Amino acid sequence: MAVYTNLGAETLAELIATYDVGELVSAKGIAEGVSNSNWMVETQRRDGRSARFILTLYERRIETDELPFFLALLDHLAARGCAVPATVHDRAGASLRQVEGKAAALIEFLPGVSPSSPAPEQARAVGAALARVHLAARDFPLTRRDRLDPAANRATLAKLGPAGLIAIDPALADAPGWAEEIARRWPADLPRSIVHSDLFPDNVLMLGERVTGLIDFYFACDGMMAYDLAVTHAAWAFDRSGAQYSPAIGSALVEGYESVRPLADDERAALPLLAEGACLRFTASRAEDWIETASGAQVMRKDPMDFLRRWRFYREQGAAAFASG
Amino acid sequence: MAVYTNLGAETLAELIATYDVGELVSAKGIAEGVSNSNWMVETQRRDGRSARFILTLYERRIETDELPFFLALLDHLAARGCAVPATVHDRAGASLRQVEGKAAALIEFLPGVSPSSPAPEQARAVGAALARVHLAARDFPLTRRDRLDPAANRATLAKLGPAGLIAIDPALADAPGWAEEIARRWPADLPRSIVHSDLFPDNVLMLGERVTGLIDFYFACDGMMAYDLAVTHAAWAFDRSGAQYSPAIGSALVEGYESVRPLADDERAALPLLAEGACLRFTASRAEDWIETASGAQVMRKDPMDFLRRWRFYREQGAAAFASG
């Protein structure tokens, strides 16, 4: 959560002038993004109309050669009516530019706030919005491999080792065995599309019960649509710590999804295992970050136990976790 | 530069509802403020009109009992046509509220960007805007003591000690002697008002050559108006490092100021000494921060030498630094 690069007002004004969006009238660095710098930018046209955008400067982690995938995906989805921000193309037609040696993109600003305590009707709307993205992305011509599949997550846990995991919390000792089992049972033949892969409430903008924007597609990749629904289920249907499951939210999310794209029987049957895979993914990545981030650092570490608790819930409940509410 | 407190969307919406500004439609944490959290907030009224505000949560450093001074000052100046953001009062008439145990204020959003390489015409406009604030604040009924006068700054240097200063840079060894001299010669009888005290380009919003907002009044206090002009001169008329003085900017700033409030002879004569006092202040506070902030910390330390260089310039140039351009 920071602005890593300080862009002067003159540099910003010059950059904005390369787009046909009017003149720069305001730019505020916003506290979003862990691997990029973001500004909320306002412009005004000669006729007085003003417009707002998010300007992103890509700092690290996201490979620059993957940016065309992410930006083209936004345009593809926005053109098909999905609630995602479209990119702004410069006067030469490019959505990706270079500023002070870094890649930059200007994207549409969307209103809305991210719910911190979602209500079931909000989850229903998000389920439907996710299904719309899955359907709209099926003919997207580019692809990106999932780098965080169960095999990769299992390898992450193995790298940290039993001692490393137990140092975080003794309960994590179970994780490698569970991961082994998931990787062995992981389905290979469920319907695929481009999936968001990280649709936490933070990445959804809403006005009341209406989804105004799905954002932060930087984990989007080729994947099983039902797995993306399971990731979203794990991200939405629990309190932050994962100790408390909300059946009303879980059911509403799946019902909302199915109101747009009904699940096939094999997808529905796989949901509990896919949800375990989602928990494996976040447990592994958080455990890795936990160990790599010194406890004194100013970066907020996310507790891997939040997803171990969810994982335990899905193991114990099986299909019951996805019973209609 | 951070958002220290995470306010949920529901909490934000409830807070906004206590003001008569319409419904919350967007809130983005912005990367401004070192001792408070800030959000750019957008609301929409029933008739469709939208409005924008900055919501500030006060985290530390600024004494809560001084907040009424700062907020009332903004309202006083805005009511007199100064380019400062007015506060929004809640339905009960208060400009200061409590949210999750912290003081909060909603203030007007102003367009504009902070110039990073100011032009002389921009400095002229800023000088005039500063003079307008000085005149408008003369009948402001509240007062606040200057905690960073030369005596306090001299004490800070003394506390750090010769060894501490030399550890930062051997050239700082001169500073305590210079500070002694400033404190001894410091004028006591120049015209006073409430002064901004920190009018760096970062704290000015502009659209082209027009000042749209003077912001961040958290150092405002009772003080000599000519001293505030000298602080602004030191803040605007040099490159960041203080190595290069721009006579065109320095002259334009003073001329702009005098176009609204001509200086008395004794004020003009005191400017070189007052500018030295400004440099003393920033050298001392930066040296203190430099030593107190571990070099590994993620907070950006400002180099105290940037103001020692300016200080040397004013000592060497004397009245010539303020000769008309």
Look at residue B233 in the predicted model and tell me its pLDDT.
98
**Any residues with CB less than 8 A from the CB of B323 and at least 6 apart, and which?**
B251
A170-195 average pLDDT score: 96
Look at residue A59 in the predicted model and tell me its pLDDT.
80
Q: Which of A10, A30, A42 sits opposite B28 (nearest CB)?
A: A30
At B13-51, the pLDDT tens digits run 999 999 999 999 999 999 876 678 899 999 999 998 999
Residues of B in contact with A13 (CB under 8 A): 113
The reply to whether A223 touches chain B by the CB within 8 Å rule is no
pLDDT class for B291, splitting at 50, 70, 90? confident
A122-143 average pLDDT score: 98
DSSP of A70-89:
HHHHHHHHHHTT-SSPPBPP
B82-91 average pLDDT score: 97
Look at residue A5 in the predicted model and tell me its pLDDT.
73
Cα–Cα distance measured from residue B308 to residue B314, given in angstroms and rounded to the nearest whole number: 10
Which one of A113, A205, A240 would you mutate to disrupt binding with B, by most B Cβ within 10 Å of its Cβ? A113
Contact present, A97 and A183 (Cβ < 8 Å): no
Contact present, B71 and B84 (Cβ < 8 Å): no
Tokens, residue B44: 């929409």
The reply to whether B320 touches chain A by the CB within 8 Å rule is no
DSSP of A129-194:
HHHHHHHHGGG-S-----SSSHHHHHHHHHHHHHHHHHHH-GGGGGHHHHHHHHHHH--S-S-EEE
Residues of A in contact with B211 (CB under 8 A): none
Chain B: closest CA distance from residue A110 (Å):
8
Say if residue B211's pLDDT is above 80. Answer: yes
Which one of B26, B42, B211 would you mutate to disrupt binding with A, by most A Cβ within 10 Å of its Cβ? B26
Say if residue B229's pLDDT is above 90. Answer: yes
pLDDT class for B65, splitting at 50, 70, 90? confident
Q: Which of B31, B114, B205 sits opposite A30 (nearest CB)?
A: B31
A57-73 average pLDDT score: 85
Residue B197's alpha-carbon distances to A296, B108, B221, B278, in angstroms, are 34, 21, 7, 9
Look at residue A285 in the predicted model and tell me its pLDDT.
95
Query: Which chain B residue has the Cα nearest residue A8?
Result: B116
Query: Which chain B residue has the Cα nearest residue A39?
Result: B30
Percent of chain A with pLDDT over 70: 94
**Any residues with CB less than 8 A from the CB of B265 and at least 6 apart, and which?**
none
CA atoms within 13 A on the CB side of B259: 14
* A112 to B26: CB separation less than 8 angstroms, yes or no: yes
A250 CB neighbour count, 10 Å cutoff: 24
Residue-averaged pLDDT of chain B: 93
Residues of B in contact with A31 (CB under 8 A): 2-3, 28-31
Tokens, residue B45: 């009224």
Q: Which of A8, A32, A116 sits opposite B28 (nearest CB)?
A: A32
A200-207 average pLDDT score: 96
Look at residue A80 in the predicted model and tell me its pLDDT.
97
Q: Does pTM surpass 0.95?
A: no
Which residue in this structure is represented by tokens 């009992």? Answer: B65
pLDDT class for A323, splitting at 50, 70, 90? confident
Look at residue B1 in the predicted model and tell me its pLDDT.
37
Residue-averaged pLDDT of chain A: 93
Percent of chain A with pLDDT over 90: 84
Strand bridging mode A192-195 / A102-108: unpaired
* B25 to A207: CB separation less than 8 angstroms, yes or no: yes
> Of residues A144 and A295, which shows the higher confidence score?
A144
Q: Which of B10, B31, B111 sits opposite A26 (nearest CB)?
A: B111
Chain B, window 163-202: residues with a beta carbon less than 8 angstroms from a chain A beta carbon: none
Which class for B91: exposed (0-12), middle (13-18), buried (19 or more C-beta within 10 A)? Answer: exposed
At B119-169, the pLDDT tens digits run 999 999 999 999 999 999 999 999 999 999 999 999 999 999 999 999 999
Query: Which chain B residue has the Cα nearest residue A110?
Result: B26
Look at residue B240 in the predicted model and tell me its pLDDT.
93
Complex confidence, ipTM: 0.79
Look at residue B267 in the predicted model and tell me its pLDDT.
98
* A24 to B113: CB separation less than 8 angstroms, yes or no: yes
Specify which residues B102 forms β-bridges with: B99
B311-324 average pLDDT score: 93
At A236-268, the pLDDT tens digits run 999 999 999 999 999 999 999 999 999 999 999
Chain A: closest CA distance from residue B24 (Å):
8
* B9 to A298: CB separation less than 8 angstroms, yes or no: no
The reply to whether A41 touches chain B by the CB within 8 Å rule is no
pLDDT class for B264, splitting at 50, 70, 90? very high
Nearest in space to B40 (alpha carbons), one of B27, B49, B50, B31: B27
pLDDT class for B324, splitting at 50, 70, 90? confident
The reply to whether B24 touches chain A by the CB within 8 Å rule is yes
Q: Which domains does chain B have, with CATH numbers?
A: 9-108 (3.30.200.20), 120-322 (3.90.1200.10)
Look at residue B4 in the predicted model and tell me its pLDDT.
65
The reply to whether A42 touches chain B by the CB within 8 Å rule is yes
Look at residue B299 in the predicted model and tell me its pLDDT.
59
Q: Is A62 helix (H, G, I), strand (E, B) or coil?
A: coil
Q: Which of A24, A29, A112 sits opposite B32 (nearest CB)?
A: A29
DSSP A279: H
Tokens, residue B218: 């958290």
pLDDT class for A306, splitting at 50, 70, 90? very high
> Of residues A323 and B197, which shows the higher confidence score?
B197
Tokens, residue B262: 């001509």
Which one of B23, B24, B113 would you mutate to disrupt binding with A, by most A Cβ within 10 Å of its Cβ? B113
Say if residue A1's pLDDT is above 50. Answer: no
Residues of B in contact with A296 (CB under 8 A): none
Tokens, residue B324: 């008309």
| Cα-trace Rg, chain A | 20
Which class for A233: exposed (0-12), middle (13-18), buried (19 or more C-beta within 10 A)? Answer: buried
Look at residue B308 in the predicted model and tell me its pLDDT.
97
The reply to whether A74 touches chain B by the CB within 8 Å rule is no
What φ, ψ does residue A156 adopt, rounded to 5°?
-60, -45
Inter-chain Cβ pairs, chain A and chain B, closer than 8 A: 84
Say if residue A299's pLDDT is above 70. Answer: no
Q: Is A254 helix (H, G, I), strand (E, B) or coil?
A: helix
User: End-to-end alpha-carbon separation of chain B, Å?
Assistant: 37
Chain B: closest CA distance from residue A9 (Å):
6
Which one of B28, B45, B211 would you mutate to disrupt binding with A, by most A Cβ within 10 Å of its Cβ? B28
Residue B1's alpha-carbon distances to A31, A117, B4, B35, B322, in angstroms, are 8, 27, 9, 8, 34
Say if residue B3's pLDDT is above 90. Answer: no
Query: Which chain A residue has the Cα nearest residue B25?
Result: A112
